[in-house]
Amino acid sequence: MPERLLVIVPTLNERENLPSLAEAIFAQPAGAHLLVVDDASP
């Protein structure tokens, strides 16, 4: 079974940072999945 990587990112008011974060995570060779958990940002 292939290894999988799940990156869990808790956020609060991080809208402006998410695109660059996602780009960096998806650029990794592991084929990561990204789960963003927002804590009720406006």
Residue 1 has a pLDDT of 58
How many C-beta atoms surround the C-beta of residue 37 within 10 A?
9
Residue 30 has a pLDDT of 78
Residue 42 has a pLDDT of 73
SS (H, E, C) 1-42: CCCCCEEEEEECCCCCCHHHHHHHHHCCCCCCEEEEEECCCC
Q: Where are the beta strands (DSSP E) in 1-42?
A: 6-11, 33-38
Report pLDDT digits (tens) over 1-42. 567 889 999 999 999 999 999 999 999 877 889 999 998 887
Residue 2 has a pLDDT of 67
